[in-house]
Structure 1
Amino acid sequence: MSFCTHTSHIFLNSVLRKQKNMLKKKKEPKTPVTTWSVFLNFLQQLSLAEKSYIEIGFLQNKHKSFLRKRCKYDRIYNTSSNRQLRYLDILNHIETIIQRNSLGFIDISMTAVRAVFSLECEILEQLFKALTELQRLQFLPSLALIHGAHTRLNAWESKMQNRERLKGAVLSKFSLYFHGTLAQQTTPNDMRQLCSKLQHDYYQKMVTFQRKYDAACVILLSDNQVSCDTTDYDSFPIIVSYPPRSPPQLDMILKMISETANDLLNMDKVIYKFSSQEQCTYILTTVEPNIYLVIFV
């Protein structure tokens, strides 16, 4: 636990104990409710909520504070449920929050809170920047940003067991998008073991899906912002596929993506194409604005 976080815990625990003692002295069985007693009761709840915030307890489902329903962190959760997630928009919001509040902790007693606030914002900023670079399939920038977030997480609150939830999600996506690159750095067995320790082993999910439903191939492709009028399919890199090979139907798949580009703008839409010549059904959908999942059976 960092010194700032430890100090904030001591301070809050001390305040909480004093408030409880004051509340016990003021509470009598038949004493009428006064403005002062109402204020003390609210102060105790506020202190508990603040203590919960410092411990990041409000992110857990077991305990809900009286301010839980109005917590602004809900906005991040609600946004994450939307498949059409725009990382740059979220980054702009985070940067706005940092700018608006960077000078809001002038009092020396707020030093510990300022340290926690700064770390939280920096961690979110680093991870959403990493997601932006992942969307652009940039290996080294993504890796550097994930490392930066990891360094900041180590300096952050150590009690929260699932404090690395967002980092785990970014690492899981990183391991899928750059599976081929990472696999070249180690043995297949070690690669499987490393991926199995991730929050989500997306590559193994792809393998399991392909085997369970006997699909001919499952592929992730990137259009690299290619115009729909172009026939230069070399700029459609295969991000990852299983079985791990370039399918002979690749030209047909890329043509389908170009022909259905407008429909694929809707990320919730799944397109089915049947080839009577090959007696094969192609299933296409958009994973991210420039990345497509294709399954053919």
Structure 2
Amino acid sequence: MASASQTDEKEEAFLQLFFSHFSYFGYDKAKEMADRERTANSSCSSSLIWPHLLPCLSQLAGAEKQYITLSFLTTKSFLRKESCLRATYESLKNDMIKLKDPGEGCSSLDGVLSHLCSHILLFLEGRLHLIAFYEHLMKMGHGRIMDFEGILRNITEISTQNCRNFHHPLFTPVKTMFTHECDILVHLLQSQAEMQHWKFLPSLLHLHDAHSKLTSWHVTVHSKETKKYGFGSSFLKPAPLPALYQWLWQVKAAYVSKFSLYFYETLAAQTTSTEMKALMSRQACDYVLKIQSFQRKTDAAYFSIVFEAAGVDDYQGPGYHYPSRTSVPPKGLESYPAIFSYPQNKPLSKWPSVVMRISDRNSECSLLDKVDYFHDQQLGSTYFLCQIEPRFTIVVIYDSKKSEKDNYIRDFIYELALQLRCNKVFANLKPK
């Protein structure tokens, strides 16, 4: 008959293998393990907790699979509860509260399992916060403007609250996954918040950190997948990666495309035009090519994205700046630089009209909801404007009178503004 210490080692080895499956989304395999152990020899355990923990572990594996596939964001029908996944995590929380304090007559293994249950409880609370966070993100994605600073504070708080929690050695794979997810979200949203103030270096560093975290996660997942398939794995088609994992890569790709447009002139100054064109073509969206094609098709005299620097205390202009460098805040027309232009030569004679229109606070709401149009009879020019986000406005100028009802021009400008707001990538959280 096996000694108590041998039994303890067996169950700890089981838990180590069980949670290792979480690191590459092997939730089905983990669930099978728990169910098999539950029916095979749970009654042989010296632990009071073990027989009750196994069904919870099976349920946890199933819940994590639902979470990582974002199924909790699918449309609720009148026959379904508001959030089945949230109810599952709440039920598991109640179970962990009971199991983490089993009472008298416990074995040495129960001490380990009790401690583990207290860590699982903290993890479940963190998961519930993330569920609420993603539900809020998806809802915001259908709005006009994302409050990136607000949602950044939210995810930073979740990350900070949980950075020291559920660190049990057996639970390390789950902790690593949770930390990766939070860190990636923080860096992505921070990069977007910095972009909204046209800050080159902070935006770049946060995008780089998000990419590094995603790549680290990618290596972990695929190395586990390779081991899982083993010999002859090239003949097997791996299972598609879960929706949440794919979505995080999509957000990063959307932000890199936006960064490449917002800081195009700074980036282009570091390389040749041929290389820059090739780099842009590899982005998820080549905004420059889209704009150039639109300009040629509609014969626009000038296309630009204008940044409102007025009121930005630490504004230093485009590109990288030494931290100790001080700069004089821009005034007048210089407070509205064109961060991207095509063609590059700014029409100086028309710029006062552009600035006047952008700086008119009364038209701000209309610029968010639609494309603003006006014709300057004195100069014979037509202007189309649409606000991307609080400090960025698309401006398209024609050296002739264009119809206010030109749907091709209006639709292109408005759709480009919506795409650059990146709302759609959050609305697309819900699985297809």
Q: 1:233 offset after TM fit, Å?
A: 0.5
Q: Equivalent residue for 1:17? A: 32
**Is residue 253–residue 284 contact of structure 2 (8 Å, CA) maintained in 1?**
yes
TM-aligned CA deviation for residue 213 of structure 1: 2.1
Alignment of 1:49-88 (within 5 A): 49-51=63-65, 53=67, 56-58=68-70, 67=85, 71-72=131-132, 73-88=134-149
Q: CA deviation at 1:270?
A: 2.7
RMSD: 3.6
Q: Are the counterparts in 2 of residues 217 and 243 from structure 1 also a CA contact under 8 Å? A: yes
Match of 2:271 in 1: 186
The 1:269/1:179 distance shift into structure 2, 3 A limit, reads: same
Q: Provide the residue aligned with 1:132 in structure 2.
A: 193
74-83 or 187-196, which deviates more: 74-83
Which has the larger helix fraction? 2
Match of 1:280 among 374, 377, 381: 381
Aligned to 1:155, what secondary structure does the other structure show?
helix
Aligned residue runs from structure 1 range 103-182, under 5 A: 103-157=164-218, 158=221, 160=241, 162=246, 163-182=248-267
Structure with the greater alpha carbon radius of gyration = 2
> TM-score w.r.t. structure 1 length?
0.78
Q: Distance in 1 between matches of 2:339 and 2:69?
A: 38
Please tell me whether the aligned partners of residues 21 and 30 of structure 2 are also in contact (alpha carbons under 8 angstroms): no
| Greater length-normalized contact order (CA 8 Å, ≥ 6 residues apart) | 2
* Alignment match, 1:35: none
Q: Does 2:369 align with 1:268?
A: yes
Cα 1:24–1:212 shift into 2, 3 Å: farther
Per the TM alignment, residue 66 of structure 1 is displaced from its structure 2 partner at its CA by: 6.4
Count of matched residue positions in the alignment of Structure 1 and Structure 2: 275
What TM-score do the two structures reach when normalised by structure 2?
0.56
Deviation at 1:178, TM superposition (A): 0.8
Runs (5+) with no aligned partner, structure 2: 1-16, 41-54, 77-82, 88-127, 223-240, 313-329, 399-432
Which residue pairs with 1:212 in the alignment? 297
Alignment identity in percent?
A: 32
What amino acid sits opposite 1:48 in the alignment? G
Q: For residues 146-204 of structure 1, what are the alpha-carbon distances to aligned partners after superposition, in whole Å with 9 as ceiling and x for unaligned?
A: 11111111121445473411111111111001111111111212111111111111111
In the alignment, residue 254 of structure 1 is paired with which amino acid?
V
Contact 1:4 1:111 in 2 (8 A): no
Cα drift, residue 120 of structure 1: 1.0
Cα displacement (A) at 1:107:
3.8
Residue matched to 1:257: 358
Partner-residue secondary structure (3-state), 1:262: helix
2:31 aligned partner, one-letter code:
L
Verify the 8 A CA contact 1:221 1:240 in the aligned structure 2. Answer: yes
For 1:66 and 1:192, how far apart are their aligned partners in 2?
A: 48
Task: Give the structure 1 partner of residue 310 of structure 2.
Answer: 225
- Name the amino acid aligned to 2:192: L
Match of 1:242 among 325, 339, 342: 342
Deviation at 1:18, TM superposition (A): 4.0
One-letter code of the match for 2:293?
T
Q: Does the C-alpha gap of structure 1 residues 57 and 242 become closer, same or farther in structure 2, counting only changes over 3 Å?
A: same
d(CA) in 2 for partners of 1:75 and 1:172? 24
Q: Tell me how far apart the structure 1 counterparts of residues 207 and 372 of structure 2 sit (CA, whole Å).
A: 34
CA distance in structure 2 between the partners assigned to 1:60 and 1:169 by the alignment = 24
